[in-house]
């Protein structure tokens, strides 16, 4: 009976044992999975920025011009090709100037009209009639049952048969229209669009001396570019008193197509037998000129250059080779778009690339990102810039300029902050560690060490507050006092040591017991007071104009109030406990025999420390510095609050920087998920993760190897 009972109990106990085992193991594995998921998640969220695809959607029937004349526009809903010629005539439902709604038929003979579409605003159309009428339509809807409809916003009558060469919508709703006859170009500018009907004003009228094959308005209506096929150009200023500039695009001949970039400061030129040139408007000594900033050569002879959505330029070859350029900054070949070869390629009003083959059309479904590893880390020529540069500007300054994602300035900003902070933190932490490990009495050591270690828990937001609101303004006024203190402090300690050695207390002592610390404190306070007393005099002698102008005039250095110097000291304080803890552990683990051996051989305490203990613990100190580095690179609040957060790329101590982590803190709350910006921020987070994890792992490996070796000694 009792045996049976015991058996029951045993079974139950064993069951509990097994149950606990299962639950602990599954729980533990769950924890590990949760932790591993951080890494996997960041990778997963980063991948979309590198994903490229191009595929052909199901072809659909499209209503096309019956005489096979080339289409000028396509609408997808309803699917319809629009051409100016043949049986299909274009209608405009216009709200004319007296607010009546009438339909205007553009006659069936297309030679009666010329039509210009704006590349910057696809709802804007300018139309000229043979009879001299020039009309401007806004909010044109290409998808209406009639070929298209829009609102007539302005009308103008000329005394010749005009042909529209360029239509450009500038800032403040000002629209520029360039029309031509056989001998002259007429550049009109409207008043702001808001005041309907808009009035046209003749800006310039110039004679066409070379052939004006391509006309573009640049720089928000300040310049008109007239370019011919062989690359000769003229820049005509809106200001009639200013002289024209002329020049030649050296490498471009036989220009076949030009597309103005949305920024209005550059164009992409398709020339020769497949060269693509990215040309920017730049000023040299106040005079504008066109400069080629980038060029590619394609392996095939492209027949078409089109501007699609997201500032993509599509370059299309005869056999459906497709390449994509992002605003002229990089190129990427896409996988072949299928077997179907299109007669025409068009861009729909939504910016989709559509191939047309007789009555059949097919849209290209593309996932193209505007970044690649090369552009994220390398320099790029951006719209409106003449040189390649590393820029981080995730939200464009003006709507027309593309966001610029170069991580390099952020990366260097993080390194700048961390390295300057380490310059302060490492000497402080390592000498403090050496002192506590080998020169301090054991009783004092066990008290001081935990206190120093617990500094790691100081809220960094508090340190950042002090740095940004107190230290930065203070330093600007007391810079010299601070620098003088930096020199006087060590000096005062040397003096204190002399006094101590000479006093009865220090005679024959080799270690400090605690009371000497008081002496050091007194001397340090005295040196601070001295610095404070001396600084004003030195300051008025050395820099009577003030620190900022002294640095600017004497050294050519810029001074920002929140700068790397501030970060170095405040972040340095935050890094001290990290470096100290590990360095102290390593130094303290050096076996006592090594030190005693050295002392017995006649070395002094410091000689023993320098030539025996420090080399023995060197790997530990290295790992301490590495961990400090990882902490410094990842620190967010201090750099966020103590710098101006401008993504600069310089090593100047007196300017700020923008770090990876601060960028995450500032931009992540604003960005909407599943955008390219979001994924790039995820990529930044992944870099921080990998960098710190790798550094910490290596440091930990070095440290544990060292400690094992020490134990075996």
Partner 1 sequence: MDSLSITSPHGVTVIGFPSSAKKVPAWRSDDAMMFLGAGSVIVCLGAVFWLIAILVENAETEFWPAPVYHWVDVERGQEFTGQIVAKSEASVLINRGWLDGESNVIARVSRSEGLVREAPPELVRVDHILFGKVYGVWASTPSGTNSLVLADDTLLQLDEAEIIRWYRPNALDRSESWGIFIENVLSFLFRPPLNSSTMGGVYPAIVGTVVMVMLMTLFVMPLGVLGAVYLHEYAAENRLTRFVRVGVYNLAGIPSIVYGVFGLGLFVYGLGGEIDKIWYSEALPAPTFGEPGLLWAALTLALLTLPVVIVATEEGLARIPVSLREASYALGATRAETLIKLVLPLTLPAMMTGLILAIARAAGEVAPLMLVGVVEFAPELPVSAEFPYLHLDQKFMHLGYHIYDLGFQSVGMEATQSRVYATALLLFLIVLVLNAFAIWVRARFARRYRQSL
Any bridge partners for residue 287, and if so which?
284
Q: Indicate the helix (H) or strand (E) that contains 277.
A: strand 275-284
Q: Provide, rounded to whole angstroms, the least separation between the CB of residue 616 and partner 1.
A: 17
Q: Provide, rounded to whole angstroms, the least separation between the CB of residue 436 and partner 1.
A: 6
What does DSSP assign to residue 300? S
Q: Provide, rounded to whole angstroms, the least separation between the CB of residue 668 and partner 1.
A: 5
Is the Cβ of residue 177 or residue 613 nearer to partner 1 in the bound state?
A: 613
Is the Cβ of residue 622 or residue 682 nearer to partner 1 in the bound state?
A: 682
Q: Provide, rounded to whole angstroms, the least separation between the CB of residue 40 and partner 1.
A: 10
Integer angstrom CA distances of residue 574 from 417, 429, 637, 700: 12, 11, 11, 20
Is the Cβ of residue 304 or residue 635 nearer to partner 1 in the bound state?
A: 635
| CA-based torsion, 613, 616, 617, 619: positive or negative | positive
DSSP code string of 94-126: EE-TTS-EEEEE--S-GGGEEEEE-SS-TT-EE
Q: Provide, rounded to whole angstroms, the least separation between the CB of residue 18 and partner 1.
A: 8
Is the Cβ of residue 329 or residue 578 nearer to partner 1 in the bound state?
A: 578
Q: Provide, rounded to whole angstroms, the least separation between the CB of residue 450 and partner 1.
A: 5
Q: Provide, rounded to whole angstroms, the least separation between the CB of residue 705 and partner 1.
A: 12
Cα separation of 580 and 477, whole Å? Answer: 32
Q: Provide, rounded to whole angstroms, the least separation between the CB of residue 549 and partner 1.
A: 17
List of long-range contacts for 449-458, beta carbons under 8 Å, 24+ apart: 449/584, 452/576, 452/577, 452/580, 452/581, 453/577, 453/580, 453/581, 454/577, 455/573, 455/576, 455/577, 456/577, 456/578, 456/581, 458/574
Report yes or no: 362 and 355 within 8 Å, Cβ to Cβ: yes
Q: Provide, rounded to whole angstroms, the least separation between the CB of residue 651 and partner 1.
A: 23
Is the Cβ of residue 38 or residue 172 nearer to partner 1 in the bound state?
A: 38
Is the Cβ of residue 150 or residue 464 nearer to partner 1 in the bound state?
A: 464
Angle (nearest 5°) at CA 99 between 94 and 104:
25
CA 430, 434, 437, 442: dihedral to nearest 10 degrees?
Answer: -110
Is the Cβ of residue 82 or residue 625 nearer to partner 1 in the bound state?
A: 625
Cα separation of 646 and 410, whole Å? Answer: 9
Report yes or no: 345 and 321 within 8 Å, Cβ to Cβ: no
Q: Provide, rounded to whole angstroms, the least separation between the CB of residue 483 and partner 1.
A: 16
Q: Provide, rounded to whole angstroms, the least separation between the CB of residue 665 and partner 1.
A: 5
Is the Cβ of residue 215 or residue 699 nearer to partner 1 in the bound state?
A: 699
Both structure tokens of 30: 């769950």
Q: Provide, rounded to whole angstroms, the least separation between the CB of residue 627 and partner 1.
A: 6
Both structure tokens of 382: 């951006």
Is the Cβ of residue 145 or residue 602 nearer to partner 1 in the bound state?
A: 602
Enumerate residues 6+ apart whose C-beta is below 8 A from 663. Answer: 392, 410, 647, 681, 684
Residue with tokens 């500094």: 455
Is the Cβ of residue 221 or residue 464 nearer to partner 1 in the bound state?
A: 464
Report yes or no: 137 and 94 within 8 Å, Cβ to Cβ: yes
Integer angstrom CA distances of residue 362 from 63, 143, 308, 429: 13, 17, 15, 67
Cα separation of 75 and 143, whole Å? Answer: 6
Is the Cβ of residue 475 or residue 576 nearer to partner 1 in the bound state?
A: 576
Both structure tokens of 265: 């400061």
**Strand, coil or helix: 92:** strand
Is the Cβ of residue 347 or residue 699 nearer to partner 1 in the bound state?
A: 699
Is the Cβ of residue 423 or residue 498 nearer to partner 1 in the bound state?
A: 498
Cα separation of 517 and 530, whole Å? Answer: 20
Cα separation of 401 and 329, whole Å? Answer: 13
Report yes or no: 393 and 642 within 8 Å, Cβ to Cβ: no
Q: Provide, rounded to whole angstroms, the least separation between the CB of residue 629 and partner 1.
A: 10
Is the Cβ of residue 45 or residue 166 nearer to partner 1 in the bound state?
A: 45
Q: Indicate the helix (H) or strand (E) that contains 710.
A: helix 676-712
- Strands (DSSP E) found in 370-449: 380-381, 388-389, 392-393, 404-405
Q: Provide, rounded to whole angstroms, the least separation between the CB of residue 682 and partner 1.
A: 7
């Amino acid at each position: 009976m009792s045996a049976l009972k015991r058996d029951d109990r045993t079974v139950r106990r064993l069951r509990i044992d097994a149950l606990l085992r299962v639950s602990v193991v599954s729980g533990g594995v769950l924890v590990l999975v949760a932790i591993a998921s951080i890494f996997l998640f960041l990778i997963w969220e980063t991948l979309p920025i590198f994903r490229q695809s191009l595929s052909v959607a199901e072809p659909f029937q499209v209503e096309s011009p019956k005489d096979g004349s080339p289409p000028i526009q396509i609408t997808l809903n309803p699917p319809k090709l629009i051409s100016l010629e043949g049986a299909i005539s274009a209608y405009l439902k216009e709200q004319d100037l007296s607010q009546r709604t009438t339909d205007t038929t553009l006659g069936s003979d297309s030679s009666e009209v010329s039509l210009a579409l704006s590349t910057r605003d696809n709802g804007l159309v300018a139309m000229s009639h043979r009879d001299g009428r020039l009309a401007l339509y806004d909010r044109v809807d290409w998808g209406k049952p009639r070929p298209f409809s829009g609102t007539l916003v302005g009308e103008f009558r000329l005394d010749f048969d005009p042909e529209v060469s360029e239509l450009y919508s500038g800032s403040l709703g000002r629209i520029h229209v360039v029309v031509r006859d056989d001998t002259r170009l007429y550049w009109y500018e409207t008043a702001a669009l808001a005041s309907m009907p808009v009035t046209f004003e003749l800006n310039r009228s110039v004679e066409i001396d070379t052939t004006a094959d391509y006309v573009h308005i640049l720089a928000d209506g300040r310049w008109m570019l007239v370019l011919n096929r062989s690359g000769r150009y003229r820049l005509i200023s809106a200001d009639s008193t200013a002289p024209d500039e002329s020049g030649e695009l050296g490498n471009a001949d036989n220009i076949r197509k030009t597309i103005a970039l949305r920024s209005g400061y550059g164009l992409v030129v398709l020339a020769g037998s497949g060269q693509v040139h990215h040309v920017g408007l730049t000023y040299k000594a106040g005079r504008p000129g066109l400069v080629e900033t980038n060029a590619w050569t394609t392996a095939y002879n492209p027949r078409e250059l089109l501007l699609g959505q997201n500032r993509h330029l599509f370059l299309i070859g005869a056999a459906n080779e497709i390449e994509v350029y992002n605003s002229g900054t990089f190129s990427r070949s896409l996988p072949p778009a299928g077997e179907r070869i299109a007669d025409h390629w068009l861009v729909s009003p939504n910016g989709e690339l559509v191939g047309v083959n007789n009555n059949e059309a097919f849209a290209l479904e593309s996932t193209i990102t505007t970044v690649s590893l090369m552009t994220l880390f390398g320099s790029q020529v951006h719209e409106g810039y003449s040189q390649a540069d590393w820029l981080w500007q995730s939200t464009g300054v003006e709507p027309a300029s593309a966001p610029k994602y170069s991580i390099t300035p952020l990366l260097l900003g993080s390194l700048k902050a961390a390295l300057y902070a380490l310059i302060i933190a490492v000497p402080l932490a390592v000498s403090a560690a050496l002192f506590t490990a080998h020169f301090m009495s054991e009783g004092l050591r066990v008290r001081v060490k935990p206190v120093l270690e617990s500094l790691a828990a100081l809220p960094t937001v508090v340190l950042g507050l002090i740095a940004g609101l107190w230290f930065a303004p203070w330093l600007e006024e007391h810079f010299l006092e601070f620098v003088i203190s930096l020199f006087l402090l060590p000096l005062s300690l040397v003096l204190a040591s002399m006094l101590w050695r000479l006093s009865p207390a220090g005679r024959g002592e080799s270690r400090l017991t605690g009371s000497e610390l008081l002496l050091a404190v007194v001397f340090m306070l005295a040196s601070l007071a001295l610095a404070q007393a001396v600084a004003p005099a030195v300051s008025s002698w050395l820099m009577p104009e003030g620190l900022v102008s002294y640095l600017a005039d004497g050294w050519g250095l810029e001074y920002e109030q929140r700068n790397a110097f501030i970060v170095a000291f405040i972040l340095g304080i935050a890094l001290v406990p990290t470096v100290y803890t590990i360095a102290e552990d390593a130094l303290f683990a050096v076996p006592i025999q090594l030190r005693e051996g050295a002392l017995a051989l006649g070395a002094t305490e410091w000689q023993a420390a320098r030539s025996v203990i420090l080399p023995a613990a060197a790997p530990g100190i290295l790992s301490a510095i590495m961990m400090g580095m990882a902490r410094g690179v990842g620190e967010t609040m201090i750099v966020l609050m103590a710098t101006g957060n401008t993504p600069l790329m310089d090593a100047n101590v007196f300017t700020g920087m923008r770090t990876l982590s601060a960028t995450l803190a500032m931009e992540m709350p604003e960005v909407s998920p599943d955008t390219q910006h979001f994924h790039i921020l995820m990529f930044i987070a992944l870099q921080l993760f990998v960098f710190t994890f790798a550094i910490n792992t290596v440091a930990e490996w070095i440290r544990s190897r060292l400690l094992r070796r020490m134990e075996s000694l």
